[in-house]
């Protein structure tokens, strides 16, 4: 059996930062479009980067210094949009990459937003609810000039949720002097959130995964899937694939992995996670070493956790036929190359996981209209946007002989560049 041990070179490669990965894809896209080096450089840089550092009072009376960021990559198409992540791994390199991917994602889906991302370098598990509230409110105050319904609209990401969005909404509204519903998305329904937002990213990933299976392998009922990550995105993907008749044969979270070749009982697993907060201890499955399930045989592999999990050191072990990126940046450029050479199709993040920002846009539009859409309307409009983006990217990839990531990025960069040129011409030389 192949070994998952990494060579020294592969370990180095696996550490290729997400920003470097984003820059390489950008270079490929600008070269394909014949854009000048000045233009490439314009999109390689972020428009605005804010770093903040502040003390937070802990429940025991001590203080901790917390560091965070908010980055706007490009705002040619509209206000900066993107999630806020609370994770120990947050650094400026990661946030830059994530903000650039937001620019391309919004452009690809035809949403009038630019790209942003933010985060705090904390492990939210180390903080009580009251401490998290103080951290979030202080971060919001530090960025009160940066955020705004027409300027920069945060949303949930790793380690954040609707409650964090509610605190941002409240703190921002206090500073602004009025209730600003449009300043965040992914907020609770009671505060103007949208029906369908909680499952939107997972629903979009599932639509794209089913479309990819239909295109490449045939009818999805009875197909098999592995889902990495069982958080806001991964759990919903497992649920919706299961509901669509796909056998989810393995799942993992930060601490454990579970598999069952006959298909996991996802509703029972959801009840278990609801009760215990983690996958560990679920009875109806085999407990596995966490990352080993990535290399099980399946039709679909959906990495829906963190960056860089598929890389040069392990991509040769993947036995899935289609990888659908629920997470942002789960595949490094070298991992991508290895998967491509092996004929494994990779559906890129900026297409596959765009359902979240699509429904965030619907939420923002509803807040601005002061009128709530039904869940059915939200879901139909989401499905229509996702499938039309999938068809567009697939046709372009086939016509231009590009892989799906290159095709999606070329389409997105050309969209942004057209707007950028109309607003402010970028001249080479």
Ligand X SMILES: NC(=O)C1=CN([C@@H]2O[C@H](COP(=O)(O)OP(=O)(O)OC[C@H]3O[C@@H](n4cnc5c(N)ncnc54)[C@H](OP(=O)(O)O)[C@@H]3O)[C@@H](O)[C@H]2O)C=CC1
- Which stretches of the chain bind ligand X, using CB under 6 A? 156-159, 201, 228-234, 252-255, 278, 290, 304-306, 326-328, 353, 356
56-59 long-range contacts, CB within 8 A, separation 24+:
56/131, 56/134, 56/135, 56/138, 57/131, 57/134, 58/131, 59/128, 59/130, 59/131
Least spacing, CB of residue 38 vs ligand X, in Å: 30
What are the backbone angles phi and psi of residue 73, rounded to the nearest 5°? Answer: -80, -55
Residue 83 binds to ligand AKG (criterion: CB under 6 A): yes
Q: With CB under 6 A, what is the number of residues at the site for ligand AKG?
A: 14
| Spatial CB neighbours of 273, under 8 Å, sequence gap ≥ 6 | 230, 235, 279, 282
Which lies closer to ligand AKG via its Cβ, residue 234 or residue 356?
356
Near ligand AKG in 174-193, by CB under 6 A: 185-186
Nearest Cα neighbor of 209 from 336, 299, 337, 343 is: 299
Going 154 to 159 to 160 to 161, the CA torsion angle's sign is positive
Stretch that binds ligand AKG, among 41-49, 220-228, 280-288, 353-361 (CB under 6 A): 353-361
Residue 348 binds to ligand AKG (criterion: CB under 6 A): no
Report the C-alpha gap between 265 and 365 in whole angstroms: 37
253, interface contact from ligand X, ligand AKG, none, CB < 5-8 Å by kind = ligand X
Which lies closer to ligand X via its Cβ, residue 42 or residue 327?
327
Report the residue number whose CB is nearest to ligand AKG: 83
Least spacing, CB of residue 141 vs ligand AKG, in Å: 21
Report the C-alpha gap between 277 and 271 in whole angstroms: 10
Given a contact cutoff of 8 angstroms between Cβ atoms, the answer to whether 312 and 10 are in contact is yes
Given a contact cutoff of 8 angstroms between Cβ atoms, the answer to whether 197 and 185 are in contact is yes
Near ligand AKG in 355-414, by CB under 6 A: 356-357, 360
185, interface contact from ligand X, ligand AKG, none, CB < 5-8 Å by kind = ligand AKG
Report the C-alpha gap between 80 and 312 in whole angstroms: 33
Strands (E), 208-325: 224-228, 247-252, 257-259, 286-288, 297-303, 319-324
Stretch that binds ligand AKG, among 8-16, 70-78, 80-88, 173-181 (CB under 6 A): 80-88
231, interface contact from ligand X, ligand AKG, none, CB < 5-8 Å by kind = ligand X
Which lies closer to ligand AKG via its Cβ, residue 18 or residue 82?
82
Residue 155 binds to ligand AKG (criterion: CB under 6 A): yes
Catalytic residues: 117
Nearest Cα neighbor of 17 from 116, 92, 87, 93 is: 93
Given a contact cutoff of 8 angstroms between Cβ atoms, the answer to whether 101 and 329 are in contact is yes
Given a contact cutoff of 8 angstroms between Cβ atoms, the answer to whether 344 and 320 are in contact is yes
Least spacing, CB of residue 182 vs ligand AKG, in Å: 12
Asked if residue 63 belongs to a known ligand binding site, the reply is no
Which lies closer to ligand X via its Cβ, residue 74 or residue 252?
252
Least spacing, CB of residue 426 vs ligand AKG, in Å: 26
The crossing angle, in degrees rounded to 10, of helices 18-33 and 92-108 is: 40
Report the C-alpha gap between 316 and 258 in whole angstroms: 22
82, interface contact from ligand AKG, ligand X, none, CB < 5-8 Å by kind = ligand AKG
Residue 99 binds to ligand AKG (criterion: CB under 6 A): no
81, interface contact from ligand X, ligand AKG, none, CB < 5-8 Å by kind = ligand AKG
Least spacing, CB of residue 82 vs ligand AKG, in Å: 5
Q: How many CA atoms lie within 13 A of 23 on its CB side?
A: 14
Report the residue number whose CB is nearest to ligand X: 231
Run of H or E including 388? helix 375-400
Which lies closer to ligand X via its Cβ, residue 42 or residue 258?
258
Report the C-alpha gap between 305 and 321 in whole angstroms: 19
- For 37, 156, 210, 304, the CA distances from 216, given in Å and listed in that order, are 37, 32, 10, 21
Asked if residue 201 belongs to a known ligand binding site, the reply is yes
Least spacing, CB of residue 10 vs ligand AKG, in Å: 27
Report the C-alpha gap between 392 and 399 in whole angstroms: 11
- Among the listed residues 70, 73, 81, 394, the single contact to ligand AKG using CB under 6 A: 81
Least spacing, CB of residue 428 vs ligand X, in Å: 34
Query: Binding site: residue ranges?
Result: 81, 105, 201, 360
Q: Which residues bind ligand AKG (CB under 6 A)?
A: 81-83, 102, 105, 155, 157, 185-186, 328, 353, 356-357, 360
Query: Binding site for NAD(+): residue ranges?
Result: 201
């Amino acid at each position: 059996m192949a070994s998952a041990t990494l060579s020294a070179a592969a370990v180095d490669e696996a550490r290729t930062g997400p920003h470097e990965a984003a820059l390489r894809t950008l270079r490929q896209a600008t070269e394909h479009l014949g854009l000048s080096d000045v233009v490439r450089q314009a999109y390689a840089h972020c428009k605005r980067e804010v770093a903040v550092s502040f003390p937070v009072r802990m429940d025991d009376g001590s203080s901790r210094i917390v560091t965070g960021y908010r980055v706007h990559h490009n705002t040619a198409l509209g206000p900066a949009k993107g999630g806020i992540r609370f994770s120990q791994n947050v650094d400026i390199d990661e946030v830059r990459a994530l903000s650039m991917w937001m620019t391309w994602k919004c452009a690809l889906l035809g949403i009038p937003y630019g790209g942003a991302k933010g985060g705090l370098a904390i492990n939210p598990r180390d903080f009580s609810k009251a401490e998290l509230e103080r951290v979030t409110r202080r971060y919001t105050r530090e960025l009160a000039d940066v955020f705004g319904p027409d300027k920069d609209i945060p949303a949930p990401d790793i380690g954040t949720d609707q409650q964090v969005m509610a605190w941002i909404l409240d703190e921002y509204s206090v500073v602004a002097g009025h209730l600003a519903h449009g300043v965040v998305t992914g907020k609770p329904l009671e505060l103007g959130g949208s029906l369908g937002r909680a499952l939107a990213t997972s629903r979009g990933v599932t639509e794209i995964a089913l479309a990819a299976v239909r295109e490449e392998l045939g009818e999805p009922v009875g197909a098999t899937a592995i889902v990495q990550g069982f958080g806001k995105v991964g759990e919903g993907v497992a649920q919706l694939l299961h509901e669509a008749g796909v056998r989810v044969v393995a799942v993992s979270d930060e601490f454990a992995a579970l598999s069952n070749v006959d298909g996991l009982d996802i509703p029972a697993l959801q009840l278990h996670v609801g009760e215990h907060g983690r996958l560990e201890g679920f009875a109806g499955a085999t407990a596995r070493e966490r990352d080993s399930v990535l290399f099980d045989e399946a039709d679909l592999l959906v990495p829906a956790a963190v960056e860089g999990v598929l890389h040069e050191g392990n991509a040769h072990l993947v036995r899935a036929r289609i990888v659908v990126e629920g997470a942002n940046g789960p595949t490094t450029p070298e991992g991508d190359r290895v998967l491509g050479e092996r004929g494994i199709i990779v559906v890129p993040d900026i297409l596959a996981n765009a359902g979240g920002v699509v429904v965030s846009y619907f939420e923002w539009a509803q807040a601005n209209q002061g009128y709530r859409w039904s869940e059915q309307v939200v879901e139909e409009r989401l499905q229509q946007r996702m499938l039309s983006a999938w068809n567009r990217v697939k046709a372009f990839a086939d016509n231009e002989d590009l892989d799906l990531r290159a095709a999606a990025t070329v389409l997105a960069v050309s969209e942004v560049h057209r707007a950028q040129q109309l607003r402010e011409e970028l001249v080479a030389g």
